[in-house]
Structures are given as C-alpha cells and as structure tokens.
Amino acid sequence: MKKLVLIASCLSLASSGFDSSLAGEENDDIVIADFEGKTYGDWKVEGTAFGTGPAKGRLPRQMRVSGFKGEGLVNSFLGGDRPIGKLTSPEFVIERDYIRFLIGGGGYPGKTCMNLLIDGAVVLSATGPNTQPGGSERLDWETWDVRKYRGQKAVIEIVDQASSGWGHINVDHIVQSNTPAEKRPSVTMPRRPGEPLRLVNAQEIKITGKYLIFPVSNKGERGRMTVVVDGQLVQNLDCNFPPDKDAIDWWSYLNMEEYIGKTAEVVAEAPAGIRKMISSSARIPHLQPLYDEALRPQFRFSQMRGWNNDPNGMVYYDGLYHLFWQCNPAGRQWANMYWGHATSTDMVHWTEQDRALRPFGDQVTNRHPSMAVKNCFSGSANVDLYNTAGWQKGDKPTLVLAFTDTGCGEALAYSTDGGKTFTYYKGNPVIRHTGRDPKLVWYEPGRHWVIAVFDEDPKLGRSIAFYTSKNLREWELASKLPGYFECPELFQLPIDGDPGKAKWVVFAADARYAIGEFDGKQFIPDHKGKHRLHWGAYYASQCFSNSPDGRVVQIGWARVDIPNMPFNQTFTVPATLTLRTTEDGIRMFANPIKELEQLRKANPKGVENRPLTAASPTVTFDVRDQLLDIVVRLRPGTASKAVLRFGASRVTYDFAREQLDGTPLKPADGRVTFRVLVDRPLYEVFGGNGACHNTAARTDMGQAIGTVSLTAEGGSLTVESLTVYEMRSIWKR
C-alpha cells in the first residue's frame, strides 16, 4: 500500500515540474506525465491542435478513442485534423533504462509523432499506426530503450504538423521504467489493399465447436474483437467486455461453423483474464433460463442475445416466414449491426437461426474474398420468382436481400439454399447515393423490380427515391417523393376488401402514411399530408413480401428498454393491414393477426352488459399471469373516462376528447372498442377494431399483475363485454 501511495504522489507532481531524482528507489517507475490534470502544467503549448489541457477521451467528430489510462490524454484532434501544434515537456534527467508510453493516431514520421530530444536533437521518435482511411483510435504501448542516454538531460515533444487524414496524434502515460512495456494484443489494418493484417499478441484458438463464445458485461467498456482465420478477417466487432469474471452478466457468441478444424487468431481489447475465457464451444452458456428470463417477452419475438432494432428482410419463402433484423450480438446498445434471422410457420412461434449477414466495419480493407461489403444496415427481402438475376440453382427460386452498405450505397445478398447461407453480390453496391434502407418490391404490371429507399436530396431534402430494374443488378432512378425519412415501405391494398379498388400505400420509419397511385415508377398521393395509425414506442416497421394468402402483415420495432437482461428491445405483434372507407375518407387499419388467438388459454374471465355506476363503478378480475389478451367493448353513458387497469399500468378512454391514451379514436356505432395485449415488459393497444395502435412499456415491468379492472370515472357507462384471456408463451409448447 505504501508503494501505491508513493506512485500516486509522483503522478500529480511529475506533471508540475517535479524533480524526478526524488521519485523513490531505482526500481520504482518515474511518471513523466499522466495527463490527468485540467491543464498541461509546465509543458509548453504551441499552436491550436492540443488546446489548453488534456482531452477526456474522444473529441467531436472523432471515432471512439480507447486504450488510454485514467480519464485524460493528449489528443490533437481538437477541431479535426486540420489544426497543428506542438507540446514540449520540461527538461528532465533520464534515470531508467526505458521510457514507455501509450500512443495512437496518425502514422506520419516527423509530422504526427512523439520525439525524445537531447541537446536539441531528435534521438528517438514514435508515431501512431494510421495513414489510410480505416484504422482505430486505440492507443498502444511503445518503449524507447534509453540505456545509453542515462544521466543525460532530455526533453519530450509531441508533434502535430499534419492537416490531412489522420493528421493528429494521441499520447498518454509517459513513464521512465527499468521494465519495457508489453504490447497489448492488437491488430493493425493494412495500409494498402492486399497487405496482410498485422497481429500483436494474438490468442490462438482451435475451432472445435460451432460457436466462439465470449463474456459480456452490461456496464463494461467497449473493446474491439477481431477474428482472423487463414490470414483473412472473418469477424470484427465492438464488445462490452467485463473488467473481471465477477462482472460477467451474460455470454454471447459468434458462429464459426465454417471454420471448424482451423485455428483462429483472436485479438480482443479486454483484460487478460477475460481474454482467456474466449473459447470455442459446441454450445452457448446461459446464466438465466433461456427465453424465460424475468423480462423476456412471451408472445412477441425477441432475439436470444444482444440489442435489436429495425425488423429487416421480412419475406415468405417456401413454407416459412423469414424475419431478419438489425442486431448487436455483443452488447445491449446499438452497435455492430449484424442481421439476425428467425423463421416461423405461423408468424407466432419463431426459431432463431444463424445470423445472416455480418459487418466488417469501416476499419477493414482486408476481408474474406466473398465479402464484397463493409456494413449491412437496414433493408428488405424478396423472392426472385422468375430468376431475373440469374442466380437460381435448381428448381427453387432465389431469396434476395437488399440492404445498405453504409457509406457506399445499396447492396444485395442472395441465398440459393432457402436462407441458410447468403452470398454478397460481387457487383455491390448496385445503387450509389446518399441514403439508406431499401425496400425491394416486385411490380407485376411492369414485370420489373422497384427499390424504394430513403434519400437525402440537397434540393428536395428527405425523400423516398424510387429505382427500377429488370435484373436486380442494374438500376435506374425513376422518381422521388419528398417528405419521408428512413425505412420506407411500399405496398398495395384493396379498399374494403375489393381487389378492383386497390390503392398503394407508402410510409417511412414513423409509419405516417399516404394513400395513392403507383405506376411502377412514381407515387402520386391522393391527399395532402399524411395520416397516422401508429403511436407510442413504435418505429421502423416493415411488411412481409411474397405473402402466401395476400395479406399485408406488419411488424414494428418496439422501442422499449428492457433493463438488466442479456437482450434489449423487442418487436410488436404481427398485425394485418387493411384499407377501409370511413367518414373521414379511406384510412388504414391494423389488427393483430388471427394466429395469435391460438395462444389464448381456455376459460377466459369476463362480463357482458354490466352497468358501471357511481355506486358500483368498477369490475375486477383476478389473474395468475402477466400474459393477457383483454378485449373491451363499452357503451358510453355519463362517465367522463373509462380506465382499464392491469397491475400498475392503465389504458384510459376519454369520452369527452374521444381519445384512447391520447390517440384519436371516435366511437363507432355508438360503441368504444379496444384490445390490449399485455406481455412481461410491454403492452400494445389496438383501438376501434384497428383504427389506432399504441405501444408502451409496462409501468411495473415483469411484476405480477394480480388483477384486471375497469372503472367508470365521473359517471356511468355500460360494459357490453369485457373478456380477459390468459395467454400461453410461444417459447413453451
């Protein structure tokens, strides 16, 4: 403990001109600078690149900076790469065999570097690793051997004289020591295409099972994990590694089945003890009962591990519904963006499959030859029924994914084995523009493909761009529809069930929609503005393509934080969309698919034609579980509100305002109807037989509900019917 106190004292004094000859015994380290103060102390500052004091990590517009010690470091990215400057230390005496330090950033000798000067001459110099696009802002250890300079006076200068890409330098924790620094595991991406990856202290793991497993902490710091097999990059992602084994919250995995029998080189920015726990395995460890964790949705799909956001690639193919989605397998927050994949025969019971697409990141220029893209952000799927692209093998049509390769454009991947594996099209990107999230549609009247994609037009602003193609490979811009943000959707629906009166519908991530005509190239709205159906924690929905029965079924991202679980976020229940004629015009309706009713348990509880009055304003039912399907039909009286309570959560209809939980809903035929689907972390409300839809987190997430009640406030009403169905889990058959 005494030694720790002495070193800590030196940390604060060294950066203030402390005489290092007083810093303890010969074997003690002498800290020249730790850059933990508000200013640089006695260091001389020139130019504008370094500011007036150490940075606290990354600076604006900079990638994540990692590998430094404590909270501060030298970071000359202040204002970007253009500013220049220099930091010069006070003079000191070299009293140890080595000077070791952390360094990162630009790799330009003499321009982005740290120099050791004796008698005004540079005798040793070091730079960061980066000169080309890509690369990491990670600092790593370097060591200068200064044995021949012992006893001499020296000065250190940190230089930024570069203004182009990677024109900055990162430095931290400069120490005199009799022990050289051990370089941490690291990977340096090639400076030129075709050069090999340079690995330092990589861990070799024999792939004996399907999975490469690794521990995750919900509060851990991000560290990059890079996996190389046969000199080729096969996985590259940020992971939330725990600081030690006691901080492990869950285990995640990467699919390595295609590399069984080979040896992987793994570089992980994690503590040594955690790196040793990364291993090959035939199974995935579970610290909680899988699919029965305390907050696991029980009749909505959620992925096994990690974060999810946008549903992607929703398509029916050869007897199965395929659901893909944006996922981060290595943490509970948005990052990495793989494509998860699950299949179902009924859109209710889902089986999670191997992840379909994986990113390689902007840091990569050396990757598996079959990987023609860097990123795989949101997109869609369809079936090439007529083999327009020529990729079909055998009798079964090709399954095609369209997605955004961020920074490059829209890209394609295809499967000839029913979605088990996907091949990236070598001609990617097929559309180059500034935007994202392609929706792939087959336009039968014109016998051609359409991609509706979010586009950032400098004149129109945010819009949906419509591109057309005969063969999926070559695309032409047909038109643009202004006023829409990301995740566009395009489909056709009959009005009131009459195919002869069909209309097209467009919407984007917020699901505010327009109805109109589409001729395969241009969408013409029938009305001004947009209509709204969806409310609450609902975003980025998509509909299944190639539906076997003509239904248009939609699933949205339920943006509900699910704390302290090995997964986060979930999806809404599948809902069938229809167009109906109302007193306000043609409107879209959403109702839960009929297949969900198979989850209802026998012997529901309920009442019919029950008046609620001031003397008896409430009807109550006891329930045993958290999984409920509650169907309500009310006839207004003098009551100002009707309040449905389930546990600590509530749904309220305001008769005067004609609103259901704040969403517009007029009575129909003199009645107010709504349906509430309650799950462990959230619930959804469908009002007026699908006229409005609201998604919300439960107030008492994961807690026993106990009772369901309906109360008339401020007067009377009649409960024409109230039925409470307890529901079965989709995970327990």
Q: Rounded distance, CA 142 to CA 124, Å? A: 12
**How many angstroms separate the Cα of 87 from the Cα of each of 33, 42, 46, 207?**
12, 10, 6, 47
DSSP states along 376-410: --SEEEEEETT-TTS--BTTBPEEEEEEEETTTEE
Strand bridging mode 140-145 / 74-75: unpaired
Q: Is 654 among the residues known to form the active site?
A: no
Left (φ > 0), alpha (ψ -120 to 50) or beta: where does 171 sit?
beta
Q: Rounded distance, CA 487 to CA 453, Å? A: 7
Measure CA 552 to chain center: 26
In the 8-state DSSP scheme, what is residue 490? E
Q: Rounded distance, CA 200 to CA 62, Å? A: 25
Residue (of 186, 189, 132, 539) closest to 334 by Cα position: 539
Q: Rounded distance, CA 266 to CA 235, Å? A: 9
b/e sequence 100-115, b meaning 16+ C-beta within 10 Å: bbbbbbbbbeebbbbb
Is 499 buried (19+), middle (13-18) or exposed (0-12) by CB count in 10 A? exposed
Measure CA 398 to chain center: 28
Q: Contact at 8 Å (CB) between 656 and 672?
A: no
b/e sequence 632-669, b meaning 16+ C-beta within 10 Å: bbbebeebebbbbbbbebebebbbeeebbbebebeeee
Q: Contact at 8 Å (CB) between 667 and 338?
A: no
Per the DSSP assignment, residues forming a β-bridge with 650 are: 645
- Contacts of residue 58, defined as CB under 8 A and 6 or more positions apart, other chains included, come to 64, 65, 75, 77, 137
Strand bridging mode 567-568 / 306-317: parallel
Catalytic site residue from 97, 310, 405, 629: 310
Q: Which helix (H) or strand (E) holds 124?
A: strand 121-127
Positive or negative, the Cα torsion across 28, 29, 33, 35?
Answer: negative
Q: Rounded distance, CA 136 to CA 363, Å? A: 7
Q: Where in the sequence numbering do the catalytic residues fall?
A: 310
